[in-house]
Amino acid sequence: MRSYSLIAPAKINLYLEILGDRPDGYHELAMILQSIELADQIEVRAIGTDTILIHCDHPQVPSDSSNLAYRAVELMAKVFPDAFAKFGGVEITIKKHIPVAAGLAGGSTNAAAVLVAVDMMWQLGLTQPELQDLAAQLGSDVPFCLAGGTALATGRGEQLNSLSAFNSLYVVLAKDRNLMISTPWAYQAYRSEFGHTYVRDTQSLESRAHRVHSGPIVNAIRHKDGSQIGRLLHNDLEKVVLPTTPQVAQLREAFQSSGVLGTMMSGSGPTVFALCESEAHAQEVRQRVRGMIANPDVDFWVTRFSTRGIQIVSSVT
Ligand SMILES: C[C@@](CO)(OP(=O)(O)O)[C@H](O)COP(=O)(O)OP(=O)(O)OC[C@H]1O[C@@H](n2ccc(N)nc2=O)[C@H](O)[C@@H]1O
Ligand SMILES: Nc1ncnc2c1ncn2[C@@H]1O[C@H](COP(=O)(O)OP(=O)(O)O)[C@@H](O)[C@H]1O
């Protein structure tokens, strides 16, 4: 039976600006997404029946049709019914290393990996734009997870422009394991407090330029300038999460006082990350902040920027 083993990396958001509400209920964004080496391992195996089975070693990850990996196979089966009839269903095993509901796109990257595996398993030969289009139907962050590296994302986050990828920066991640933040809640809270309608068609490029402020950080990324990148980190969702979740604000302050290049909440949180120039410094910061926080429920990870998205590690055909 065919099987594929894949690596599905997490992401952090170096920049997240909310430009306004969209008529479809989403928010118009200007974001910079960055892959990191912290990753889940995904096995996708043909099972010759018409079922989809999910196994995951993490108690908070569903194994039913609400799992994004399940939804990825379901979407492929709907779009390619003949291939599904010919090759049958799949069994997916997810080894979770990415914390769940953490703002690190764990579910999205699992779904992206499954799209890649099913494309190969069903011998579809899809192009990158075709895969990206399917990915966007599964979630706003899924197209980025497929491509990986460093990208400027617009629209609801699915329109990508890749930036020069580099892996020389190290990342310390911290998350209280009792805290989970729902992405729809974070956007809804932002809309209630700061919402304003964004009508793309009537916006000239010039008026858009007045609202999007990602230029300096894009420039810093082009120059691989770690100190500038650290200084220019930005996330509008912090405006609703920091006041309601003091643990996040506290972690951010602890990193801030530890001599890092910069610190920010990732996506809708609650993970806070800090950027460092070297692995030794990142390990030192992890130790120092662990001591300052004195909360045994906070987990830490040291990882680094990655230039890659979904990677196929091995296949049996
Ligand atoms: C906040 C971010 C930052 O990268 O990531 P996470 O914190 O979830 O990792 C993303 O914008 C999340 O992307 P993703 O999790 O794929 O979102 P989706 O499944 O498409 O949408 C989940 C919900 O978030 C809200 N949403 C999402 C994207 C967007 N541009 N506007 C929104 O308002 C909507 O309420 C939507 O129903
Ligand atoms: N394959 C999956 N991995 C992780 N979470 C998943 C998956 N499928 C569905 N979920 C659910 O999606 C929600 C968001 O999880 P996740 O994708 O890890 O976070 P985020 O959207 O903050 O990046 C959680 O409630 C989780 O139970």
Q: Summarize pLDDT for 213-239 with one digit per residue, the tens.
A: 899 999 999 999 999 999 999 999 999
Q: What is the pLDDT of residues 193-219, one digit of tens each?
A: 987 777 665 566 666 666 678 999 999
Tell me which of 21, 40, 141, 236 is the catalytic residue.
141
The domain tally of the chain equals 2
Dihedral of alpha carbons 237, 238, 243, 245, sign: positive
Q: Whose CA is nearest to atom 27 of ligand 1?
A: 26
Distances (CA, A) of 117 to 46, 144, 249, 299: 10, 17, 39, 31
Taking residues 94-121, report their average pLDDT: 98
Taking residues 251-261, report their average pLDDT: 97
How far apart (Å, rounded) are the C-alpha atoms in residues 145 and 6?
A: 13
Any binding-site annotation on 105? yes
Q: What is the pLDDT of residues 163-192, one digit of tens each?
A: 998 899 999 999 999 999 999 999 999 999
**Widest Cα–Cα separation across the chain:** 58
ipTM over 0.90? The verdict is yes
* Residues 136 and 233 occupy one common structural domain: no
Taking residues 138-143, report their average pLDDT: 98
Please give the angle made by the CA atoms of 92, 95 and 99, to the nearest 5 degrees: 120
How far apart (Å, rounded) are the C-alpha atoms in residues 248 and 264?
A: 10
78 belongs to the catalytic site: no
* Residues 153 and 46 occupy one common structural domain: yes
Domain span at residue 125 reads 3-165+311-316
Q: Whose CA is nearest to atom 14 of ligand 2?
A: 101
* Residues 134 and 197 occupy one common structural domain: no
Q: How many CA atoms lie within 13 A of 291 on its CB side?
A: 8
Tell me, what's the pLDDT at 206?
64
Taking residues 90-109, report their average pLDDT: 97
11 belongs to the catalytic site: yes
Residues 6+ apart with CB under 8 A from 231: 261, 262
Going by C-alpha positions, the residue among 210, 265, 257, 217 that lies closest to residue 240 is: 265
What's the predicted TM-score (pTM) here?
0.97
Atom of ligand 1 nearest to the CA of 25: 33
* Residues 241 and 269 occupy one common structural domain: yes
Tell me, what's the pLDDT at 48?
84
* Residues 87 and 222 occupy one common structural domain: no
Tell me the CA–centroid distance for residue 184 and ligand 1, in Å.
7
Going by C-alpha positions, the residue among 244, 266, 275, 192 that lies closest to residue 32 is: 266
Residues 6+ apart with CB under 8 A from 35: 9, 10, 11, 148, 149, 150, 165, 305, 306, 307, 308, 309
Tell me the CA–centroid distance for residue 57 and ligand 2, in Å.
13
Any binding-site annotation on 102? yes
Tell me, what's the pLDDT at 195?
79
